[in-house]
Structures are given as C-alpha cells and as structure tokens.
Amino acid sequence: MTQLRATHDLHKRRLSRNVGVGVTLLALVAVVFGLTMVKVTRGDPMERFDHVARPALEAAAEDSQ
C-alpha cells in the first residue's frame, strides 16, 4: 500500500494549480465587472429606443439620416 506524507509534492502542485485557476477566474470576474461599469457609466447606449416612446430621439435619428 502506498504511503503518502501529508504534504506530498503532488499536493503542492495540485494546490498551485487550484490557487492559480481560482485567481484567474476572480481576475476574469473583475475584468468583466470593470468593463461593464465603464460601458454602463459612460451611458451612451443606455439612452436609446426601448419600449417607451421617445419623440426626442426619433427626431434626432431622422435628422441624422
């Protein structure tokens, strides 16, 4: 039967991988969140046509054509 020490080298490598993947995923979440905040707070795509009539926007759209 194979005896393994509590901190076998294999466990260290596995820990390095798990921590690395965890940090990478957290970084991805932070990047997506940051990007969303930048896009949303700049606001330009927010004030567009939705389910509410926007006469001012319609006039502006016609002018630009």
C-beta of residue 57 within 8 angstroms of C-beta of residue 47? yes
Q: Does 38 bind another protein (CB under 8 A)?
A: yes
Q: Does residue number 30 form part of the binding site for another protein (CB under 8 A)? A: no
Q: Can you tell me which of 34, 54, 58, 60 binds another protein, judged by CB under 8 A?
A: 34
Residue 49's closest CA among 35, 39, 59, 64? 59
Report how far residue 45's alpha carbon sits from residue 3's, in angstroms, rounded to the nearest whole number: 62
Tokens of 7: 């901190």
Q: Is 26 in the site for another protein (CB under 8 A)?
A: no
Specify the residue, 39 or 54, whose C-beta has the smaller distance to another protein: 39
Residue 14 binding another protein, by CB under 8 A: yes
